[in-house]
Amino acid sequence: MTDQQTTPEAAETRRPGDVPAGTPLTSLAQQRAEAGERLRTEHDRVQDAVVGDALTQLVVGEAIRRAVRGERGGMVAQALRLGATWDQVAAALDTTVLAAVDDLRVWAEGQRTLYHQHLADGADVLVGLDEEAYGEVTRWVAFGLGWAAVENRDARTEQAALLRAAVAAAPMVDTVGELRALLEQLPDEMPLSLDHHTRALPGEQNEVHTIHPRLVATVSGLATEAETSRPGLMLTQVFVPFPAEDEEQAAVATRDDLPAYDDLPRAAHHLERGELRAGLKASAVVLEEIAHLVGEVAADYTEHDEDGSQLRVEAKRITHAAERVGGLAETVEEVAG
């Protein structure tokens, strides 16, 4: 197999970059079609010439793809200038409005840079977008971003309704099978998280631990006007009354206002809401537990050990702090609205 026997096209165009810039697409398409026609009569030709035509098809085909892709932003601008709508443009490209807007934005930035380069070089013919033309395109981009936001919001509204129905159908999840059945109804790409704070219904003596699913909002995007939120699923641990009717258990499980079951997250829950009395009481309990732990460590030291003495002093200080915080909880004014 020798290079001398390959077709002229293959010898000249070994890579897409070898195709001369500005070659008309019609010429490239004809060159590719001719190579294809020769391939269809390959039984009459030597093997290495056949390989050359096959490579020509690949090289020229890729050159065509790149040329068309490079013109895409300009074609979007032309369609909009002639009166096409953003949804029509997106449909023609078989993509989303947001993706089409991004094509236009990238093209416009490149054309603006090209114009200023020619202007700085003192070129006789200025190519690209001047500030006025660039401003017109940026207005199209802004409008397209708004259009995309509406498009995404409508899609999210429709999806969220379906998701809410799926979650509402399983307000409690007691078994792995029930959880699996729920997840099978949700999109594979849907964000999923587990609330690490166990939540409890105050005052219930007979309780059963379960999980309740609820929809939460997660933000996606790149801090642009088209930034969107999409629904995700959070599995929240709760205690529900037992024995009780299914409706009663479900009503408790679907509540999202229950405080955390453990003292530290419970304190944070109340304090963040401005519920100072409940928050300070929970904080006092946390301090008491810390004082107890420090005291247990201090007990391992001898009475005359300096480290042990310091730990015992700190345990007493923490205990006193717990007493002061607990006392403050009885007199502080609530600030929750």
**What is the pLDDT confidence band of residue 287, given thresholds at 50, 70 and 90?**
very high
Judge residue 77's burial from the number of C-beta atoms within 10 Å of its C-beta, 0-12 exposed, 13-18 middle, 19 or more buried.
buried
Rounded CA-CA distance 258/94 in Å is 47
What integer pLDDT is reported at residue 225 of this predicted model?
52
What integer pLDDT is reported at residue 2 of this predicted model?
39
For the record, the structure tokens of 153 come out as 């919001």
How does DSSP assign 250-290, residue by residue? HHHHT-S-PPBSSHHHHHHHHHHTT-HHHHHHHHHHHHHHH
Tell me which of 126-135, 178-187, 328-337 is least confident. 328-337
Count other C-beta atoms under 10 Å from residue 2's C-beta: 7
Q: In sequence order, what are the beta bridge partners of 238?
A: 199, 210
Kindly state the average pLDDT of the residues 266-290.
90
Assess whether pLDDT exceeds 50 at residue 120: yes
**What is the pLDDT confidence band of residue 42, given thresholds at 50, 70 and 90?**
low
What integer pLDDT is reported at residue 43 of this predicted model?
58
**What is the pLDDT confidence band of residue 195, given thresholds at 50, 70 and 90?**
confident
CA nearest to 304, candidates 315, 312, 294, 293: 312
Kindly state the average pLDDT of the residues 49-55.
80
Assess whether pLDDT exceeds 80 at residue 220: no
**What is the pLDDT confidence band of residue 320, given thresholds at 50, 70 and 90?**
very high
Instruction: Report whether 203 contacts 265 (CB < 8 A).
Output: no
CA nearest to 50, candidates 61, 36, 60, 62: 36
Assess whether pLDDT exceeds 50 at residue 4: no
Rounded CA-CA distance 27/4 in Å is 24
Judge residue 159's burial from the number of C-beta atoms within 10 Å of its C-beta, 0-12 exposed, 13-18 middle, 19 or more buried.
middle
What integer pLDDT is reported at residue 171 of this predicted model?
78
Q: What is the average pLDDT value for the chain, to the nearest integer?
A: 81
SS3 call for 176: helix
Tell me which of 44-58, 69-83, 164-178 is least confident. 44-58
Of 134 and 21, more confident: 134
Of 230 and 96, more confident: 96
**What is the pLDDT confidence band of residue 229, given thresholds at 50, 70 and 90?**
low
Assess whether pLDDT exceeds 70 at residue 222: no
Assess whether pLDDT exceeds 60 at residue 227: no
What integer pLDDT is reported at residue 319 of this predicted model?
92
**What is the pLDDT confidence band of residue 223, given thresholds at 50, 70 and 90?**
low
